[in-house]
Structure 1
Amino acid sequence: MPSLISSLVRFRRDPRLLKLPPYLSLLCILVGVASLLVLPLNSYSRRTYISENALLPGQVHTYFGGSDQNVFRAYKHEVNALLGQSNKAINDHLEPILAAGGLKVGRQNYTYRSAGETYEGENLYAILQAPRGDATEALVLVSPWLSIHDVPNPHGVALQLALARYFRRWSLWSKDIIFLFPPDSLTGPQAWVDAYHDSHDGRYVSALPRKSGALQGAIALDYTKADPADDEGNGSSRFTAVHIVYDGVNGQLPNLDLINSVVNIAGGQMGTGVSLQDMWRHNDGYADRLRTMLRGMLRQGLGAATGAHSAFMAYHVDAITLQPYTATAVTPEGNLVISGWQHDEMAMGRILEGTFRSLNNLLEHLHQSFFFYLLMSRERFVSIGTYLPSAMLLAANYTIMAIALWVRSGQAVPKPDAAVVAAKTGAADKKGKAVEPPASTTATSSGAEERDLFLPLAVVALCQALGVVPLYLFNHVPAWLLTPVFAVFALVNTVLPHLISRALTNYYRATVQQYDLIKSFSLLLLGMFLSSLATLNFSLAFLVGLLASPLTFMQPAPRSPGSRLLATLLLNHISPLAVLVACCLWWQLDISEALRLAAFGWDVWGMYTAVVLWCVWWPAWLVGSVVVLGRPAMVPVPKKK
């Protein structure tokens, strides 16, 4: 045993041990990416199933149809006549219709300000009191006047009016049903749900005059796919499939049982197609599964609202948006044809009826199924226990390098040869013999060297604090100034690493140990932030961890100007600003519009993606750039007397 302990101690001090961490970090990155790419395989994914037996989706007979179709057509005529009118004029027309059906009607005004612009409107909602309930629980059906793409939604509004009249005739409801008509999909639902939970700012958002019980679920209807044969509202808007949108703000997801229930009702009972993540054609192969999963990760990583349902997620209310559409297929001749059986609005109403009948059966809030998952098709998913190690491995690679740099910074620097020092500095005695520099006062008896922590901590703290500047600017500058401010910040972003590096070189004479400590502290913070973020928003943590992975291997570049320039250019290509510009080019989005939407998400939805971008990723990149441009000072030697 003593010999084993002594061998381990000698192995711990072996300098070859410090050569392993870079390879371990690279292995963590490769394994993390590979473990994500194998998830679409059957061996790593699972089939979806209903965990809450009380839901019983598809087990009831739906009756919406027949004479209700004439009611829907009448409502559609009235709604189409309101196109182009103001928000208040529309609510003035719809309120008597809801009140005549025996519903309790309420209206709510709100005003939001973001990026120098004002967003105001008025929500209209009606409450159907459950005949068999005590007003302690409620379900919500939302039909915004404008969809997420600012397209009018008259079919959805008319269908919701018809369903409100239809639901009023049934005595089987044990939960109240709230019919919400917001003016849009971005601000109206957020103002309403904030006021419903008394977490609104009374200066800008009015309180609700009427309330019901705790919200158990919400379904939003985005019915903007009109039939070309629809002549003045006399025809019908037909569809062949339903697109389910389920992503919430900051990557929040509804309970998987809610999605599975709609898939069971729409795809099984009603015989319509079901799609996810804009995958209009899905053959359930590996490529389509992977594409669906990556699209879901990208939406989750952005953290923006994807529909009227997203506002409910922050209050643990499970919600989704249903979008009927017409699926198409490509013939061998290259022609597009309609794929699947065409359904009318009555079929969509029966899908909503079956969904609300299932949610009405709940005895408690949805809790048995998964809240953290990645969907690869409507019947295939992976849970958090399977995909979380991918992000954790990416975060671990930063921690491994941070620990290795900390250990290396504590090792004693080899003492330079006396003759070499004398030749370089001219230090010699009167007889011409070289004078050996005195031993360092910071070296310990064990061969370790005391760490100089003040400068590295100050540099890392400065870079972290600078992240508040772009976070404040891009969330408070008016929209018309966002583009010039971004251009100025991009210029500063290019020059700032050179200024910090020059200060460290010329004024503070930073040593190799101090550069190691600067990089160590920065990577340690990055690994800690990403590992914590992975449990809240896996996709955002994985994407940032993957894009920032080159920072793990950044070292002070050689003194050759060409090598330093090449390393700087490579690092600038993976900067947060470069990635932001590349994403805008990919989506054909103006940079000012992207920044305006980010500021809107910060002010209205409470989206924290900007915090991760400017206060986590950008400071780490800034430190990495300073390290690459660094010129560590030589080992200090005594001056000539």
Structure 2
Amino acid sequence: MALICTRLSSNAASTWLTVTEASILALRRDPRILKLPPYLSALCIVIGVSWLLVLPLNQYSRQTYVSENAILPGQVHTYYGGSEHDVFRAYRHEVAALADSSVEERSQKLNDIFRGIGLKVAQQDYTYSVGGRNISGRNSYAMLQGPRADATEAIVLVAAWRNMDDAINYSAVALVMSLARYFKRRLSLLAKSTCTFIDGKPGWSIWSKDIIFLIPSDSTAGTQAWVDAYHDNHDPSTISSLPLKAGALQGAVALDYPAGPWGHRFDKLHVVYDGINGQLPNLDLFNTAVSIASGQMGIGCTIQRMWQHNDSYRERLQTMLRGMISQGLGHASGPHSAFMPYHVDAITLQTVGDGWHDEMSLGRTVESLFRSLNNLLEHLHQSFFFYLLMHANRFVSIGTYLPSAMLVAVSFSITAIALWVQSGRPPKSAGKTLPSGEKGGKPDMTVIKEGGAVALVPTATLEVVERQLAFPLAAVLGLHFLGIVSFYTFNHVAQSSLRSSFFLFAVLSVLLPPLATFILSRTVRPSAQEYTLLHSFSLLLLGASLSTLATLNFSLALLVGLCASPFSFIRPFPARLPASLPPSFRAPLFVVSAVVLTAVSPMAILGLSNAYWGRSVVDLLADAAFGWTVWGMWTGFVIWGVWWPAWVVGACVLWSGIFVEEK
């Protein structure tokens, strides 16, 4: 009896499992399920944006702090001042006299000054060819060998001859030379206990790292050429190798202090930290600079050009968004940006405003900052490398803000999966086949036997529709290849032809979807299923690309994802419109859909952005070509190789409803 009951229970359980599996299979065909993905995608986007908006709140952000105990920011007494002010002004007059000199004369004079201080001196020539124009210059640099160093580590002090605004960096260059003299020699009787003799002259023995003083010709190309050559990652035919090197670079600080030939007092320090491709320095370096400037020297610090910041929610959000835009662009925001790809933490200190601080305050800040870097026993690693700053003293770490971009990327994947399921659905008539061919009959049923269990399942539930993958895969790969070709063309066309090339490309891009769908409908004749698969593969690749990019450049991934978010809601027109919609509404709705889709195209977004910032398309494309050639900036690759193909696919899907009838 027990054996019989056990067998009956087993048969009942098997029957229940079979029926459950059949119910799940039937649920897959339920049209109500396929209506959910668009709402889920929209919900992910809304939550992602909302997540971003709550980050400035105190509950989701944190106060900055220094993780590396060895840095000891602001714990040393600074001696820069007094008679060094006269030395600085003398050097500033020397710099002002070189304003109209040639590159050769200027480099020779700078080398003579460094050599007179007692430093080892070298120079480097470089030439970049970008878009039919040559960018050349000469970098001058000197090296102070630390008395307690073993030539294995070094820190860099940079002052470009011309800053990011293309102004002569008078006071910054003079300050670097003054600090070089100060670091080399005994400068205060108060430091007599730490004084030793180097080459017969008094000097400090505190330096455990070599110090390099670099004066590149400009803030972007010159610094990049020097850093590339320092790490032997350059083309010797266009960029000279460095005859003088030290050890591994542990950090770099750049100064941006034009102030004119007669000087100018400043109010605050603008700490610039954005690197190429959104890379950021270790947060400990930023926090050390802010702690020294504001805590020890009494100099206010600001970021992202927020000159007035009251630490309110609105200003925190504005600062964070400005930082995201800067990181999303991926450009070099200062001389420090060239060090980022080589994992060298660097920042730029830029003087702003009218106040009572002078070059002595900045000099003491740099001295204290270098004394802190000199204390490092190993490379900065304990603090964060991925963060969003919303105030000089407040930040959000990657674990808090990353879900925002991931949710936007997931919205594309959800739609892609739904489209894949939809492409495998049988024709609408499936499941209604009448066994006798008579109207009113029951649909075909299939008998499933498993063990002793028997279940009846509609045949349509088990029917598998063959998917035609050749055309969708070839089209997606072809469009991405075409986007890469466009990216290559923009980087190599002459600057004089950039405007016409861009507008020609924009017109062809707008005309490509309707022409392509029309020609394909007369030749290849892709079915509605193949367009659905094309859309699915495109969104799947877009979601995977953005989710991967979010871990490297969160801001770029989020900005592209938000601009591309309408792609998830595109459907063939008018094939997928509700039957209840009046025919008179269909034409206006199609026009609105086409206009919205065109408005979120890369060409339209770039044009509107340029108009907002008052720049021309030529400048943007020239900077992008320069960024790719010199910095290795991949923003253009993401725009033309990821975003543009997805937009073209979305436009083709929209137009496919006119030329392809869904069966």
TM-score, with structure 1 as normaliser: 0.90
1:116-140 Cα shifts (integer Å, max 9, x gaps): 1100111100000000010100000
Aligned-partner Cα distance in 1 for 2:212–2:123? 13
Partner of 2:77: 61
Q: 2:63 aligned with 1:47, yes or no?
A: yes
Alignment check: 8 A CA contact 2:29 2:425 kept: no
Q: 2:293 aligned with 1:266, yes or no?
A: yes
Partner of 2:630: 604
Aligned-partner Cα distance in 1 for 2:423–2:662? 14
Deviation at 1:417, TM superposition (A): 12
Q: 2:86 aligned with 1:70, yes or no?
A: yes
Secondary structure of the corresponding residue to residue 240 of structure 1: strand
Partner of 1:500: 516
Partner of 1:110: 126
Q: Residue type matched to 2:181 in 1? A: R
Deviation at 1:59, TM superposition (A): 0.4
Name structure 2 gaps, 5 residues minimum: 1-12, 186-203, 445-458, 576-585
Of 423, 426, 436, which aligns to 1:412? 426
Secondary structure of the corresponding residue to residue 473 of structure 2: helix
Aligned-partner Cα distance in 1 for 2:615–2:30? 53
The within-5 A match list for 1:57-136 is 57-136=73-152
Partner of 2:230: 196
Deviation at 1:456, TM superposition (A): 1.4
Alignment check: 8 A CA contact 2:423 2:532 kept: yes
Aligned-partner Cα distance in 1 for 2:166–2:256? 11
Deviation at 1:543, TM superposition (A): 0.2
Deviation at 1:506, TM superposition (A): 2.5
Secondary structure of the corresponding residue to residue 32 of structure 2: helix
Q: Residue type matched to 2:225 in 1? A: A
Of 302, 316, 325, which aligns to 1:275? 302
Instruction: Decide whether aligned partners of structure 1 residues 511 and 212 sit closer, same or farther in structure 2, where only a CA change above 3 A counts.
Output: same
Secondary structure of the corresponding residue to residue 404 of structure 2: helix
Alignment check: 8 A CA contact 2:29 2:461 kept: no
Q: Residue type matched to 1:205 in 2? A: I
Q: 2:186 aligned with 1:186, yes or no?
A: no
Partner of 2:465: 449
Deviation at 1:561, TM superposition (A): 4.4
Instruction: Decide whether aligned partners of structure 1 residues 499 and 57 sit closer, same or farther in structure 2, where only a CA change above 3 A counts.
Output: same
Instruction: Decide whether aligned partners of structure 1 residues 417 and 92 sit closer, same or farther in structure 2, where only a CA change above 3 A counts.
Output: closer
Of 329, 334, 339, which aligns to 1:312? 339
Aligned-partner Cα distance in 2 for 1:128–1:414? 80
Partner of 2:284: 257
Q: 2:517 aligned with 1:483, yes or no?
A: no
Aligned-partner Cα distance in 1 for 2:285–2:574? 57
Secondary structure of the corresponding residue to residue 134 of structure 2: strand
Secondary structure of the corresponding residue to residue 526 of structure 2: coil
Of 477, 482, 495, which aligns to 1:466? 482
Partner of 1:175: 209
Partner of 2:649: 623
Deviation at 1:563, TM superposition (A): 3.4
Partner of 1:542: 558
Of 368, 382, 386, which aligns to 2:400? 386
Q: 2:388 aligned with 1:362, yes or no?
A: no
Aligned-partner Cα distance in 1 for 2:602–2:431? 45
Partner of 1:285: 312
Aligned-partner Cα distance in 1 for 2:79–2:306? 31
Aligned-partner Cα distance in 1 for 2:393–2:62? 8
Q: 2:412 aligned with 1:398, yes or no?
A: yes
Aligned-partner Cα distance in 2 for 1:415–1:511? 17
Deviation at 1:503, TM superposition (A): 2.2
The 10-residue stretch of structure 1 (611-620 or 75-84) with the greater mean CA deviation from structure 2? 75-84
Instruction: Decide whether aligned partners of structure 1 residues 415 and 357 sit closer, same or farther in structure 2, where only a CA change above 3 A counts.
Output: same
Of 30, 34, 43, which aligns to 2:46? 30
Alignment check: 8 A CA contact 1:245 1:276 kept: yes
Instruction: Decide whether aligned partners of structure 1 residues 417 and 97 sit closer, same or farther in structure 2, where only a CA change above 3 A counts.
Output: closer
Instruction: Decide whether aligned partners of structure 1 residues 8 and 558 sit closer, same or farther in structure 2, where only a CA change above 3 A counts.
Output: closer
Partner of 2:191: none
Aligned-partner Cα distance in 2 for 1:28–1:403? 15
Alignment check: 8 A CA contact 1:444 1:450 kept: no
Deviation at 1:444, TM superposition (A): 8.3
Deviation at 1:508, TM superposition (A): 2.8
Instruction: Decide whether aligned partners of structure 1 residues 418 and 62 sit closer, same or farther in structure 2, where only a CA change above 3 A counts.
Output: closer
Q: Residue type matched to 1:607 in 2? A: M
Paired-residue identity, %: 56
TM-score, with structure 2 as normaliser: 0.87
Secondary structure of the corresponding residue to residue 266 of structure 2: coil
Instruction: Decide whether aligned partners of structure 1 residues 93 and 211 sit closer, same or farther in structure 2, where only a CA change above 3 A counts.
Output: same
Partner of 1:330: none
Alignment check: 8 A CA contact 1:133 1:176 kept: yes
Instruction: Decide whether aligned partners of structure 1 residues 418 and 605 sit closer, same or farther in structure 2, where only a CA change above 3 A counts.
Output: closer
Aligned-partner Cα distance in 2 for 1:253–1:8? 48
Instruction: Decide whether aligned partners of structure 1 residues 156 and 628 sit closer, same or farther in structure 2, where only a CA change above 3 A counts.
Output: same
Alignment check: 8 A CA contact 1:512 1:633 kept: yes
Alignment check: 8 A CA contact 1:557 1:563 kept: no
Q: Residue type matched to 2:528 in 1? A: V
Q: 2:398 aligned with 1:371, yes or no?
A: no
1:174-204 Cα shifts (integer Å, max 9, x gaps): 0000000101001111000000000111110
1:538-590 Cα shifts (integer Å, max 9, x gaps): 00000000000000000011275443333212211110000000010011001
Matched residue pairs, number? 598
Q: 2:181 aligned with 1:165, yes or no?
A: yes
Give the RMSD, CA atoms, in angstroms.
Answer: 2.1
Alignment check: 8 A CA contact 2:419 2:532 kept: yes
Of 309, 322, 344, which aligns to 1:295? 322
Secondary structure of the corresponding residue to residue 306 of structure 1: coil
Partner of 2:549: 533
Alignment check: 8 A CA contact 1:28 1:397 kept: yes
Alignment check: 8 A CA contact 1:557 1:567 kept: no
Alignment check: 8 A CA contact 1:398 1:552 kept: yes
Deviation at 1:262, TM superposition (A): 0.5
1:195-239 Cα shifts (integer Å, max 9, x gaps): 00001111100000010000000000000244xxxxx63xx4211
Name structure 1 gaps, 5 residues minimum: 227-231, 328-337, 420-432, 637-641
Deviation at 1:463, TM superposition (A): 1.4
Deviation at 1:82, TM superposition (A): 0.8
Q: Residue type matched to 1:298 in 2? A: I
1:68-119 Cα shifts (integer Å, max 9, x gaps): 1111111111111111212221111111111111100001111001011100
Alignment check: 8 A CA contact 1:571 1:625 kept: yes
Deviation at 1:527, TM superposition (A): 0.4
Partner of 1:333: none
Alignment check: 8 A CA contact 2:26 2:461 kept: no
Alignment check: 8 A CA contact 2:431 2:460 kept: no
Deviation at 1:468, TM superposition (A): 1.9
Alignment check: 8 A CA contact 2:431 2:461 kept: no
Instruction: Decide whether aligned partners of structure 1 residues 50 and 414 sit closer, same or farther in structure 2, where only a CA change above 3 A counts.
Output: same
Secondary structure of the corresponding residue to residue 491 of structure 1: helix
Aligned-partner Cα distance in 2 for 1:416–1:179? 77
Instruction: Decide whether aligned partners of structure 1 residues 104 and 90 sit closer, same or farther in structure 2, where only a CA change above 3 A counts.
Output: same
Aligned-partner Cα distance in 2 for 1:273–1:107? 36
Alignment check: 8 A CA contact 1:564 1:629 kept: no
Of 559, 565, 569, which aligns to 2:591? 565
